[in-house]
Chain A
Amino acid sequence: QSALTQPPSASGSPGQSVTISCTGTSSDVGGYNYVSWYQQYPGKAPKLMIFEVSKRPSGVPDRFSASKSGNTASLTVSGLQAEDEADYYCSSYTGSNRLVFGGGTRLTVL
């Protein structure tokens, strides 16, 4: 199972919006509405930000939103803040009780 494709880096200025893409295939992202997004700070465990394509867990700011179109999922961070600078990973269910993660995107707040 190949990793989902994410851009290695993304950036934006405070207050701006930035979108990170996550491209898979019809066997993963395109085939199931089970795409998740994680935020990870250096040396820390990942934190779930979005699940089931666009749902936010309790406590996640509504500045974080996500969607899916075909084989590509997207995470949008609006009103960028310094604290949003982190690594972001997508994941998708691939059938047969298996999952796959994306390679990760480092978000820099300029």
Chain B
Amino acid sequence: EMQLVESGGGLVQPGGSLRLSCGASGFTFSNYWMYWVRQAPGKGLVWVSRMSTDGTITSYADSVKGRFTISRDNTKNTLYLQMNSLRVEDTAVYYCAREMGAATPGYWGQGTLVTVSS
């Protein structure tokens, strides 16, 4: 059974850093583009980042560009999101997702909550 499990969320002060992880199982991780999508409390979904199968192609939403870095370790079947210079407005549940079809986050993890507050 395909599974994505996010971890690493928590409470951090503004300006701080956090690294999220997304462990994958039940499919060949190295064959799929991967995504991070976030959802602030009571708000809608917002695309954050996308990475190619081999990690050579990455893209970011303007709101996180220069502060967040997506990466992956295909030997560990794990996707990462390094988040630096965190702001209050980065508070959200962060979901990782596997591509299905073209340019489509198809399978989603359960999410991990990041709270940025002093």
Contact = CB atoms under 8 A, between A and B. Distances in A.
B44 A96 contact: no
Contacts of A99: 35, 47, 50, 103, 105
Contact of B50 (A38, A97, A104): A97
**Which size class do B's interface residues fall under?**
20 to 34
Nearest to B47: A99
Residue of B44, B52, B95 with most chain A CB atoms under a 10 A cut-off: B44
A47 B109 CA distance: 10
A89 B45 CA distance: 8
A51 B45 contact: no
Nearest to A90: B45
Given A46-B95, A51-B100, A93-B102, A101 B47 contact: yes
**Which size class do A's interface residues fall under?**
20 to 34
Interface in A80-110: 89, 91, 93, 96-104
A1 interface: yes
B103 A34 contact: yes
A95 to B, nearest CB: 10
Interface string A42-58: 00011110011001010
A50 to B, nearest CB: 9
B101 to A, nearest CB: 4
Interface string B91-118: 0000100001111111111110000000
A100 B47 contact: yes
B59 interface: yes
A91 B62 CA distance: 17
A57 B46 contact: no
A28 to B, nearest CB: 11
Contacts of B110: 45
7 A-B pairs with the lowest CB-CB distances in the bound complex, closest first: A93-B103, A97-B59, A34-B103, A99-B47, A104-B44, A51-B101, A45-B108
Interface of A: 1, 3, 32, 34, 36, 38, 40, 45-48, 51-52, 55, 57, 89, 91, 93, 96-104
Interface of B: 35, 37, 44-47, 50, 52, 57-59, 61-62, 95, 100-111
